[in-house]
Amino acid sequence: RRRHKTVYFGMVFCICVQNNAEFKDLPPVFKYRYVFGGNQVKDQNYEAAMFQDLGSSPATVAASKAADFIGCLPTNALQQADAEQAYVQAPLKGPETWVTLPKEHWPLEWHALGLERPVVRLKLALYGHPDSGTFWEEHCDHHCRQAGFHPVTDWPSTYFHPEWRILLVIYVDDFKMAGPKAKVKEAWRRIRADDPSAGIVMSDPEPATRFLDCDHQVKETVINGKTVKLMTYSNQEFMSQCVDAYCERAGIKR
Statement: residue 73 has pLDDT above 50:
yes
pLDDT at residue number 1? 46
Which DSSP string do the residues of 95-123 spell out, in sequence order?
SEEEEE--GGGS-HHHHHTT-SS--EE--
- Is the pLDDT at 55 greater than 70? The verdict is no
Per-residue model confidence as pLDDT tens digits over 13-50: 888 888 777 666 778 788 878 888 877 888 888 787 77
CB 96, CB 10: distance < 8 Å: no
pLDDT in tens, 181-199: 999 999 999 999 999 889 9
Tell me: the pLDDT tens digits for 101-135?
888 889 899 998 989 889 999 999 998 888 899 99
Distance, CA of 78 to CA of 69 (rounded, Å): 9
Average pLDDT, the chain: 88
Task: Determine the pLDDT at residue 54.
Answer: 60
